[in-house]
């Protein structure tokens, strides 16, 4: 080989239930480890695929993106078929394609869309149970919609972040004499779309086990950056509002507090899915794309 390597972009779908998230962890099954081992099996090359975001244990994906480089001259269709033969059925390669030089699944992303699904009712159907968070008590949709509208736009979402390991470095850089102006101090992320909606229940016939009073609540959020656990912490807070323990009017105070203790609990991982990642023109002003 002449040493030339080709940049690759894979789009992945996976059921995250049986994995300890995306990132490699010693002695634990992860998406990144499983994919790296499959690539090595096919090409005999050791690579560490970079994901658009490090999804947590139990989080699913319909459009996770991974990038890496290979020296092997393999056609994209062949790589896709070979990977899908080797990977477990819970991980599928939807597309495999060559990427421009310098492409990085995370750093090149300009926006991501997540979906959180909640089944509300006494009996959750088995074909949904791995992909939804379950609630038995009724929820007030109007209140949750009002709360979601208040986080649309650019805000400091520190109150909804599990942790921010880069925050100290960012604060320090802002006190350097030659530091470029960064605007507001804190974790600034822009949410472009933030809404609750109802969805039709997928159905098999007959559905004798599904009571008529059951609902599927779907929260969809699109933004150019997300902090650790941010979507799940937003949903956990919205659920507190839907249950009447908080009100939509509490959202501004929670945002302004920049205190994780002011927001609601973290919603379960099983309801969260990374829907897609956008690359190309940055159409959502603010900071770079982050991760959940």
Q: How far apart are the C-alpha atoms of 276 and 137, rounded to whole Å?
A: 31
Please list, residue by residue across 211-240, b when 16 or more beta carbons sit within 10 angstroms of its beta carbon and e when fewer do: eeebbbbbbbbbbbbbbbbbbbbbbbbbbb
Give burial (CB, 10 Å; 0-12/13-18/19+) of 253. Answer: exposed
- For the chain, report the end-to-end CA distance as a whole number of angstroms: 38
**Which one from 2, 15, 56, 250 is the annotated catalytic residue?**
56
> Can you read off the two tokens belonging to residue 190?
């822009």
Confirm if 11 and 20 have CB atoms less than 8 A apart: no
CA separation for the pair 243, 290 (Å, rounded): 30
Q: Is 56 a catalytic residue?
A: yes
Contact 33, 46 (CB under 8 A): no
Instruction: Show which residues are catalytic.
Output: 56
């Amino acid at each position: 080989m002449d040493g030339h390597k080709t940049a690759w972009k894979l789009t992945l779908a996976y059921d995250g239930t049986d994995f300890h998230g995306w990132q490699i962890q010693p002695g634990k099954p992860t998406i990144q480890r499983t994919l790296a081992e499959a690539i090595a099996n096919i090409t005999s090359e050791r690579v560490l695929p970079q994901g658009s975001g490090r999804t947590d244990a139990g989080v699913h994906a319909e459009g996770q993106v991974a990038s890496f480089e290979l020296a092997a001259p393999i056609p994209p269709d062949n790589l896709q078929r070979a990977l899908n033969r080797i990977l477990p059925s819970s991980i599928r390669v939807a597309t495999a394609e060559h990427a421009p030089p310098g492409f990085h699944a995370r750093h090149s992303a300009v926006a991501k869309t997540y979906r959180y699904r909640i089944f509300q009712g006494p009996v959750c159907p088995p074909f949904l149970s791995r992909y939804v968070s379950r609630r038995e008590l009724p929820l007030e949709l109007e209140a949750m919609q009002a709360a979601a509208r208040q986080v649309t736009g650019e805000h400091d979402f520190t109150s909804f972040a599990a942790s921010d390991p880069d925050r100290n470095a960012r604060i320090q850089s802002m006190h350097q004499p030659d530091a470029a102006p960064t605007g507001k101090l804190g974790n600034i992320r822009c949410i472009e779309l933030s809404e609750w909606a109802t969805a039709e229940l997928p159905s098999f016939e007959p559905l004798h086990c599904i009571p008529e009073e059951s609902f599927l609540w779907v929260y969809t959020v699109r933004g150019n950056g997300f902090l650790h656990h941010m979507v799940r912490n937003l949903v956990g807070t919205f659920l507190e509002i839907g249950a009447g323990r908080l009100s939509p009017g509490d959202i501004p105070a929670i945002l302004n507090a920049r205190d994780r203790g002011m927001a609601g609990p973290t919603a379960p991982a099983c309801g969260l899915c990374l829907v897609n990642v956008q690359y190309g023109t940055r159409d959502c002003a603010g900071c770079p794309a982050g991760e959940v």
